[in-house]
């Protein structure tokens, strides 16, 4: 399980595990992102203006070097220096830079707001979808995969919106601006720069291609190291129990060394790349300076133009490098956005049910009518084609008619299950592990739909009952108990949010959880953390029984609820359960046969089929599988 959670495969894995993933349809994704900015889109105009101001101010400021230097030179050569004009030029240059700075502040500020708001909306949509997904989704997607939508993918997307795209845009504007001014200043020197850019691009491509191979390997190695650490933390107890610390360290050292190797290779290339491009730009600077100086001496060009041009060559290479860096991260972020949208576009759990569950009251003549408050009587409310509604009382009559089911098409888990539970009956399922006991309960509450055969509840096909109402009418104690962060009382109240303190205590007493809760340091106010680690396994089960009991449902399903409880507590629970069971239909799954002994009917399951059924005494008389199980002649697998 830990393995499944921590070692997600494919693009959804931990950050380091991904190479540069390419978006499938970048245009559509961008359009959808823009859709999320609805209401703020007018602000994008200011972002656009801000970026234009900041980039062009940088370019124009550099251009201003020309008149400033020329006026100094003129002053030096003619001997008369117009201080006022010179100061004016300086002030103007200062103003241009000030406008640029204001523009930069404006656009980054607005973009930050837009991206934060966009991410908020996307997170809401993703989480909302997560709550409506069918259980099947979680069967086919690992936790890590789903989690990374909320963590890695959201992070890269936020970075792209707040930094990547504005920077890319600003760099492009700068390049165009600088190029235009360079052409104006000196077409000849500009030609030289173009040749240089082509050479550098070729070299970077050659070396970059090599390094990307190593970077990919490095990312895989980081993924392996992270996955291993996560797994070891989760499985710490198992590691200790089997004294596998040394092996764990050895394996870690091995994969860590692989990471070291991949990282040093990747970085060797990357570290070569920086100096190479730097050196090229120095060579370029020196060449331009020499040629420019020659032209100035020859009188073809003034000294201000040369100085200004030299400054431009410097600011030409920087945005080119920036764009190439941002490009990859934007591509990555778009692929991440697609993964988020994929989750948002997943199909929600379908629900065509029309029959709903309502509180009801009974007239003296036996007719039912709807009540606004809990009355202890529940009714199914049917809408009729003519717009009227009819009510039938919820009794808890559950029937399976030839139900066939498999989680996947290849494997049938339940083969032709037929059974009935009359109101108030206790039906028990026993059988080997993997026989299909939990699967039966998964079908009653419609975690999965039945493809073949049908299940009826008080005569209604459960497919016609609204899922939330069906589940509200069932009290479930799942095989794997899960408690939430919060107090004990809050956890019990999860079964019925408006339960009073008295109701919570009553439910706890019914489940025999009251006595251990009273011994907790803060009683019902004791805070449980991370799935109730501060409780014992049995105590957690008692709490989950209390949680099911507080809802006071007409049907109860207990999946091995008593397996982690000692014999004395089990007897206590059984007593409590008997009270809990009164007037309810109960499905109970237990490996302990003592728990199921007093059931109205016991179903013995084997490989998805009911092979024996009857009361405890009947089954003993039959001397079949149950008899073997009961007399201990047959070990439960």
Ligand X SMILES: Nc1ncnc2c1ncn2[C@@H]1O[C@H](COP(=O)(O)OP(=O)(O)OP(=O)(O)O)[C@@H](O)[C@H]1O
What residue ranges bind Mg ion (CB under 5 A)?
438, 479
d(CA 48, CA 534): 55
Kindly state whether residue 436 participates in binding ligand X, applying the rule CB under 6 A.
yes
Residues 613, 568 contacting (CB under 8 angstroms): no
Two tokens, residue 401: 């008619």
Complex with ligand X: residue 408 or 628, whichever CB lies closer: 408
Two tokens, residue 535: 């409780």
Complex with ligand X: residue 353 or 431, whichever CB lies closer: 431
Least distance in Å: CB of 576 to ligand X? Answer: 23
Kindly state whether residue 435 participates in binding ligand X, applying the rule CB under 6 A.
yes
d(CA 248, CA 245): 5
Least distance in Å: CB of 432 to ligand X? Answer: 7
Kindly state whether residue 413 participates in binding ligand X, applying the rule CB under 6 A.
yes
Mark 474-502 as b/e (b = at least 16 C-beta within 10 Å).
bbbbbeebebeeebbbbbbbbbbeebeee
Kindly state whether residue 382 participates in binding ligand X, applying the rule CB under 6 A.
no
Stretch that binds ligand X, among 106-114, 436-444, 492-500, 619-627 (CB under 6 A): 436-444
Complex with ligand X: residue 456 or 479, whichever CB lies closer: 479
* Binding flags for ligand X, 577-606, as an x/- string (CB under 6 A): ------------------------------
The order of strands in the sheet holding 398-405 is 414-421, 398-405, 452-457, 460-461
* Binding flags for ligand X, 115-154, as an x/- string (CB under 6 A): ------------------------x---------------
Size of the site for ligand X (CB under 6 A): 13
Q: Beta-carbon neighbour count of residue 448 at 10 Å?
A: 17
Residue position matching structure tokens 């024996």 = 612
d(CA 551, CA 376): 11
Stretch that binds ligand X, among 87-95, 175-183, 356-364, 428-436 (CB under 6 A): 428-436
Complex with Mg ion: residue 119 or 430, whichever CB lies closer: 430
Residues 218, 317 contacting (CB under 8 angstroms): no
Stretch that binds ligand X, among 110-118, 151-159, 390-398, 430-438 (CB under 6 A): 430-438
Whole-Å CA distances, 609 to 279, 439, 561 = 77, 12, 22
Least distance in Å: CB of 635 to ligand X? Answer: 13
Complex with ligand X: residue 189 or 588, whichever CB lies closer: 588
Least distance in Å: CB of 447 to ligand X? Answer: 9
* Binding flags for ligand X, 82-121, as an x/- string (CB under 6 A): ----------------------------------------
Complex with ligand X: residue 62 or 438, whichever CB lies closer: 438
* Binding flags for ligand X, 279-298, as an x/- string (CB under 6 A): --------------------
Least distance in Å: CB of 434 to ligand X? Answer: 4
Q: Are strands 426-431 and 585-589 parallel, antiparallel or unpaired?
A: parallel
433 binds, among Mg ion, ligand X, none (CB under 5 to 8 A by kind): ligand X
Which residues, numbered 463-492, are part of the site for ligand X (CB under 6 A)? 479
d(CA 111, CA 167): 11
Alpha helices, DSSP H, located in 524-624: 537-550, 567-581, 593-596, 616-622
d(CA 310, CA 320): 17
d(CA 110, CA 116): 10
Among positions 171, 186, 308, 438, the unique one binding ligand X when judged by CB under 6 A: 438
Kindly state whether residue 558 participates in binding ligand X, applying the rule CB under 6 A.
no
Stretch that binds ligand X, among 242-250, 429-437, 469-477, 504-512 (CB under 6 A): 429-437
Two tokens, residue 557: 């399903």
Among positions 152, 190, 332, 439, the unique one binding ligand X when judged by CB under 6 A: 439
**φ and ψ of 132, to 5 deg:** -105, 5
d(CA 376, CA 381): 16
79 burial (CB, 10 Å; 0-12 / 13-18 / 19+) is: exposed
149 binds, among ligand X, Mg ion, none (CB under 5 to 8 A by kind): none
Stretch that binds ligand X, among 222-230, 432-440, 509-517, 521-529 (CB under 6 A): 432-440
Element (H, E) at 158: helix 154-159
Among positions 78, 372, 433, 530, the unique one binding ligand X when judged by CB under 6 A: 433
DSSP string, 181-220: HHHHH-HHHHHHHHHHHHHHHHHHHHHHHHHHHHHHHHHH
Nearest to 446 by CA among 461, 429, 424: 461
Among positions 46, 252, 382, 407, the unique one binding ligand X when judged by CB under 6 A: 407
Footprint of ligand X on this chain (CB under 6 A)? 139, 407-408, 413, 431, 433-439, 479
């Amino acid at each position: 399980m830990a393995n499944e959670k921590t070692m997600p495969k494919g693009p959804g894995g931990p950050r380091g595990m991904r190479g540069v993933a390419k978006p499938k349809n970048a245009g559509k994704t961008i359009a959808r992102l823009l859709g999320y900015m609805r209401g703020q889109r007018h602000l994008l105009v200011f972002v656009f203006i801000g970026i234009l101001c900041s980039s062009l101010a940088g370019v124009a400021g550099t251009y201003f070097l020309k008149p400033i230097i020329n006026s100094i030179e003129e002053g030096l050569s003619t001997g008369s220096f117009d201080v006022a004009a010179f100061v004016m030029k300086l002030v103007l240059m200062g103003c241009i830079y000030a406008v640029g700075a204001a523009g930069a502040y404006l656009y980054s500020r607005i973009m930050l707001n837009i991206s934060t708001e966009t991410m908020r909306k996307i997170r809401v949509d993703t989480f909302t979808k997560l709550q409506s997904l069918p259980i099947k989704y979680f069967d086919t997607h690992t936790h890590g995969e789903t989690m990374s939508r909320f963590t890695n993918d959201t992070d890269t997307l936020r970075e792209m919106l707040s930094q990547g795209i504005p920077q890319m845009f600003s760099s492009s504007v700068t390049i165009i601006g600088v190029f235009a001014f360079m052409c104006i200043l000196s077409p000849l020197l500009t030609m030289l720069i173009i040749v240089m850019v082509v050479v550098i691009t070729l070299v970077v491509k050659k070396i970059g291609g090599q390094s990307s191979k190593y970077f990919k390997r490095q990312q895989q190695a980081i993924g392996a190291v992270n996955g291993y650490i996560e797994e070891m933390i989760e499985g710490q107890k198992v590691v200790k129990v089997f004294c596998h610390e040394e092996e764990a360290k050895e394996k870690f050292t091995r994969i860590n060394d692989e990471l070291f190797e991949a990282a040093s290779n990747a970085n060797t290339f990357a570290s070569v790349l920086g100096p190479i491009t730097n050196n090229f730009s120095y060579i370029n600077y020196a060449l331009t300076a020499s040629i420019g100086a020659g032209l100035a001496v020859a009188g073809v060009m003034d000294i201000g133009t040369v100085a200004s041009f030299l400054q431009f060559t410097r600011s030409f290479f920087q945005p080119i490098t920036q764009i190439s860096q941002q490009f990859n991260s934007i591509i990555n972020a778009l692929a991440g956005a697609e993964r988020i949208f994929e989750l948002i576009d997943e199909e929600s759990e379908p629900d065509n049910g029309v029959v709903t569950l309502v509180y009801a009251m009974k007239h003296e003549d036996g007719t039912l009518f709807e009540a606004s408050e809990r009355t202890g009587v529940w009714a199914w409310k049917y809408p009729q084609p003519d717009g009227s509604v009819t009510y039938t009382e919820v009794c808890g009559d559950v029937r399976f008619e030839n139900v066939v089911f498999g989680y996947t098409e290849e494997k049938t888990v339940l083969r032709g299950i037929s059974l009935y539970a009359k109101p108030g009956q206790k039906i028990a399922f026993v059988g080997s592990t993997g026989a299909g006991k939990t699967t039966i309960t998964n079908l009653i509450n419609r975690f999965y739909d039945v493809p073949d055969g049908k299940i009826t509840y008080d005569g209604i096909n459960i497919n016609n009952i609204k899922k939330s109402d069906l589940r509200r009418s069932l009290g479930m104690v799942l095989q794997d108990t899960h408690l939430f962060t919060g107090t004990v009382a809050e956890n019990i109240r999860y079964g019925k949010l408006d339960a009073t303190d008295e109701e919570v205590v009553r439910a706890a007493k019914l489940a025999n959880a009251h006595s251990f809760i009273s011994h907790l340091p803060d009683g019902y106010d004791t805070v449980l953390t991370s799935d109730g680690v501060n409780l014992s396994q049995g105590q957690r089960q008692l709490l989950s029984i209390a949680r099911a009991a507080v809802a006071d449902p007409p049907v109860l399903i207990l999946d091995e609820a008593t397996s982690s409880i000692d014999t004395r507590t089990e007897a206590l629970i059984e007593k409590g359960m008997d009270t809990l069971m009164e007037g309810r239909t109960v499905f109970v799954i237990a490996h302990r046969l003592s728990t199921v002994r007093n059931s109205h009917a016991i179903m013995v399951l084997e490989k998805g089929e009911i092979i024996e059924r009857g009361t405890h005494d009947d089954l003993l008389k039959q001397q079949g599988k149950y008899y073997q199980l009961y007399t201990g002649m047959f070990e439960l697998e």
